[in-house]
Amino acid sequence: MPEPFSSSTTHRAGSGPDLPPLPASATELGHLLQRVATGDRSAFAKVYEATVPKLLGTVLRILNNRGWAEEVVHDVYIKIWQKAGQFDAGKASPITWMVTIARNSAIDELRKQPARGRAPEEELEQVLSTEPNAQSRLEDQQTVNRLNLCLEELEKDRRDMVRMAYLNGWSRVDLATHFDQPVNTIKTWLHRALKQLKGCLSP
Amino acid sequence: MTDRDDLDMLAAEFVLGTLDARERASVAMRRHSEPDLEALIVAWEQRLGPLAEEVVPVAPTPGLYKRIEQKINALEEKQARSTHDDNDRVISLHKRLRRWQWSTALASASAMMLMAVLIFQPTQEQGPQSFVAVFQENDQQPAFMLSVDLTNRQMHIRPVTAEPMQGKSYQLWIKADSLGPNPRSVGVLNENLKLDRTALRSYDPELLKEATFGISVEPEGGSPTGQPTGPAIHGYLYPTLDGESGQQL
């Protein structure tokens, strides 16, 4: 499998002239993270500036509660400060690494307190109305397009399940309630959808 | 379905986020010790990562960065304090050590006076794995200092007031319950009062943390019997931070 994020700095032009400039390229962010690993506060401030809207957007979409989301993002940046030395550019782009920390933290919090501040059915319109990807700002546009093409190949329900889970943090149980299916059926559907995606994305 | 498929689906659902709290915690734990699982998780993060592109960025409230900075400041102060506490612990260990050195050690080995040892264990889990023992002569000045780095099992012994003696050698000993009742020789110090830095390499770090070290004065070339025969210097604990030589506790 090719390195999907390895060329994310070189495709800005492909994003189109209408988009605001990138806050920082992947290469710049990677260098800043290396400085953060040495305890450089000014580099940390720059990383924060460049990435906090994305991370807060990610966490807020999962938790659906502004105050809670900022608490989690606070802790996420503490983790980034402490773990910057573990960032491995060979495994992920800097923004993917940070979004992964943010998503994992948000989903862990949500699983601990599922009732706090969310109403899954109300989010639904947002999930379903968002076109699979409009813009690419921090990632390689080709990689994004490729995933979107593969998602399009899934049945609509399966595609919605994957997006609700990834973007909104829905658990198997949430999905079972929404689709009015037993949890085991949801699990089976998820596995089929994931395998189909994997097959579609493999070279 | 093969086990490999099961593991791949576990990784995929972990990344997708659909597992419950217990399953997530279990995968988060396992990935550290299972490289296969870790690799599968990373591959799924790459596959699904572009989905995050459609997240709409949201500006944080203006005070958020300040709160993060304050937390980092607090964590760093706490870390500095805990290093300081470690030094206090070293000093408090000292009394226990002195009691111990004259009872147990002397009772078990007749001809020798094993001196003491020290070694302190940092409280920070991720803290430095460096330990220091100070060998004291006449309860006055430190004679030798021994530092041990457990992460790479390197040791370094340096004379403080000890001088080479004509026709005599200093010999370093280790004693631990799991090594039996008698001290075991670590090595004979050379004429510059040095010892191979890897001399403790074959010992388990946990054993080293519990062990007692002693230095005895032996005939040139080391003890002829395999056990300490001459007078020993005794040990004393010193803080490591301002732990240059000569500071009296």
pLDDT of amino acid A25: 81
Report residues of chain A scoring pLDDT below 50. Answer: 1-22, 128-136
- Give the ipTM of the model, two decimals please: 0.81
Contacts of B8 in chain A (CB under 8 A): 198
CA of B20: which chain A residue's CA is closest? Answer: A111
pLDDT in tens, B109-139: 333 333 444 444 444 443 456 677 777 655 4
B46 and B81 both lie in a single domain: no
**In-domain check, residue B65:** no
Do residue B151 and residue B194 come from a single domain?
yes
Note whether B9 and B86 are same-domain residues. Answer: no
B87, B138: one domain? yes
The larger pLDDT score, comparing residue B98 to residue B44, is at B44
State whether B95 and B126 are in the same domain.
yes
For residue B188, what are the β-bridge partners?
A: B171
| Neighbour count for residue A125 (Cβ, 10 Å) | 9
Using the predicted structure, report yes or no on whether residue B88 has a pLDDT greater than 50.
Answer: yes
Residue B247 is assigned to a structural domain of this protein: no
Same domain, B181 and B226: yes
Nearest to B67 among A74, A103, A144 (CB): A74
Kindly state whether residues B86 and B181 are assigned to the same domain: yes
Q: What is the DSSP letter of B102?
A: I
- Count of domains forming chain B: 2
Neighbours of B227 (CB within 10 A): 16
Q: Same domain, yes or no, for B226 and B137? A: yes
Residue B70 in domain: no
- A20-25 contact pairs (CB < 8 A, 24+): A20/A137, A22/A137, A22/A138, A23/A49, A23/A50, A23/A51, A24/A50, A24/A51
Between chains, do A48 and B67 touch, taking CB under 8 Å as contact? no
Contact B53 A170 (CB under 8 A): no
pLDDT tens by residue, B182-206: 788 889 998 888 888 888 888 887 7
Q: Which of B5, B22, B41, B58 to mutate to test the interface with A (most CBs of A within 10 A)?
A: B58
Do B132 and B210 fall into the same domain? yes
Strands (E), chain B: 130-137, 141-149, 154-159, 168-175, 184-188, 212-219, 232-236
Q: Closest-CA residue in chain A for B21?
A: A111
- Measured between alpha carbons, how far apart are the two ends of chain A, in Å? 6
Query: What local confidence, expressed as pLDDT, does residue B58 receive?
Result: 93
Q: Are residues B222 and B183 in the same domain?
A: yes
Contact across the interface for B16 and A45, Cβ inside 8 Å: no
Task: Please report the pLDDT score of residue B227 as a whole number.
Answer: 82
Query: What's the pLDDT score for residue B243?
Result: 36
Is residue B158 domain-resident?
A: yes
* H helix intervals, A38-182: 41-63, 66-83, 94-112, 120-129, 141-153, 156-168, 172-179
Q: What's residue B228's pLDDT?
A: 80
| B11 and B99 fall within a common domain | no
Chain mean position to CA B99: 24
Q: What structural domains and CATH numbers belong to chain A?
A: 12-201 (1.10.1740.10)
Q: Which tokens sit at A8? A: 């994310």
Nearest to B66 by CA among A45, A72, A102: A45
User: Picking from A24-38, A53-67, B29-43, B163-177, which range would have the lowest pLDDT averaged per residue?
Assistant: B163-177
Nearest Cα residue in chain B from A142: B50
State in Å, rounded, how far the first CA of chain B is from the last one: 67
Largest CA distance in chain A: 51
Residue of B nearest to A201 (CA): B47
Q: Which residues of B touch A (CB under 8 A)?
A: 8-9, 12-13, 16-21, 24, 28, 42-43, 45-61, 64-65, 67-69, 71-72, 75
Interchain pair B49, A54: CB under 8 A = no
Non-local CB neighbours of B32 within 8 Å, separated by 6+ positions: B38
- Inter-chain touch B13–A133, beta carbons under 8 Å: no
Q: Which of B7, B24, B47 to mutate to test the interface with A (most CBs of A within 10 A)?
A: B47
Q: Residue B249: inside a domain, yes or no?
A: no
Tokens, residue B176: 């631990």
Does residue B26 lie in a domain region? yes
Strand partners, B214: B173
State how far the alpha carbon of A184 is from the alpha carbons of A5, A38, A180, A181, A187, in Å: 34, 47, 12, 8, 5
**Residue B49's domain spans which residues?**
3-54
On whether both B162 and B210 belong to a single domain, the answer is yes
Residue B67 included in any domain: no
The shortest C-alpha distance from A33 to chain B (Å) reads: 16
Q: Mean pLDDT score of chain B, rounded to an integer?
A: 74
CA distance B67 to B77: 15
In a domain? residue B43 = yes
Q: What is the DSSP letter of A165?
A: H
How far apart are alpha carbons B31 and A91 in whole angstroms? 15
